Amino acid sequence: MDARWWAVVVLAVLPSLGAGGETPEAPPESWTQLWFFRFLVNAAGYASFMVPGYLMVQYFRRKNYLETGRGLCFPLVKTCVFGNEPKASDEVPLASRTEPAETTPTWQALKLLFCAAGLQVSYLTWGVLQERVMTRSYGATATSPGERFTDSQFLVLMNRVLALIVAGLYCILCKQPRHGAPMYRYSFASLSNVLSSWCQYEALKFVSFPTQVLAKASKVIPVMLMGKLVSRRSYEHWEYLTAGLISIGVSMFLLSSGPEPRSSPATTLSGLILLAGYIAFDSFTSNWQDALFAYKMSSVQMMFGVNLFSCLFTVGSLLEQGALLEGTRFMGRHSEFAAHALLLSVCSACGQLFIFYTIGQFGAAIFTIIMTLRQAFAILLSCLLYGHTVTVPIFLSYCNL
């Protein structure tokens, strides 16, 4: 391998490149705490479920189990592998989202406004709590600096467990359409969703929250590109124009912003790579969910299926690493963290309800544009609550995109 590629790898995994000459946070105590190593360990844990599951799905398909299978396990295998309403061929690529048939444009506009308001409230609160949990210490006193919570995967699990409970109760109490999608198809969206959430939490260890928010605003184009790849979607000219203007504006914002104060985390190559991973995984997630709506499921059924596999992946990985008990002990030591984690999970569960409903009604690209609009408010809240500095002309230029 060329020496330059080795240099890139080393720089990526060692958080030593501060932006603007700033001194980054102290390096991890050991190489096992490096984000790249933990990412590989987590991925190995998820693979221990995905690979056997994939092999089983292929086995049942080759054996034509839907026609020849019998016994107690037949309903479970049919639901997980073939679905209750199989299509003519399980190999046919998922079709794109069907446009909802509404009566008037006014009703559509009201629904869009409702979705936008729900997403704003849920994720603005979630963003404030996320920064508090990942960048501040708990249990600090006059004589002790306290300790920080570092296990991003444990937070992902807490968010998914509550969302799973909420979706499950809703499906039980309220009538839902007949579920026809093979359950295994949810696992792909679950895996990418867990990885995107992990990258998002980890990135806050290397970049400030305003920097992360601005990077998120540029994911409209990746979402559209992933949409053409995953669900063969086509977009209107105004959607391409909007995505291009947003991305150009965000790039100008990041390039023209001054150095961050010494009190905030340094922007490192590790942080940028994690943000890129978040954007890539999240773009796949929203488009795969968009394509799954071809099975005529409700948004709550989608929420239940995705979070079911997300819980299986994260619980299994945490148990394999022995980290589940440590996260629980941290909650026991710090009741404030427990309260923050619970409220974070509530906001995540409510936000997911709005996410799935918005994607089901309007598609992944519209959802991404709505989420981009909240970035300015998220930056304002972060600056007010946590003391980040953003120059007024640059902020105004972003708001006017």
DSSP state of 73: T
What's the mean per-residue pLDDT of the chain?
78
Model-level pTM?
0.73
The helix/strand/coil state of 25 is coil
Q: Is the pLDDT of residue 41 over 80?
A: yes
Nearest 10 degrees: CA dihedral of 254, 258, 261, 262?
90
- The answer on pLDDT for 296 being more than 50 is yes
Per-residue pLDDT tens digits for 167-200? 999 899 988 888 888 999 999 999 999 999 999 8
Residue 265 has pLDDT above 70, yes or no: no
> What pLDDT shows up at residue 157?
93
Concatenating the DSSP letter of every residue in 123-143 gives HHHHHHHHHHHHHS-BS--SS
Q: If you average pLDDT over residues 8-23, what whole number do you get?
A: 36
Other beta carbons within 10 Å of 114: 14
**pLDDT score at 204:** 84
Predicted pLDDT at 390: 55
253-290 burial, b at 16+ Cβ within 10 Å, e below that, comes to bbeebeebeeebbbbbbbbbbbbebbbbbbbbbbbbbb
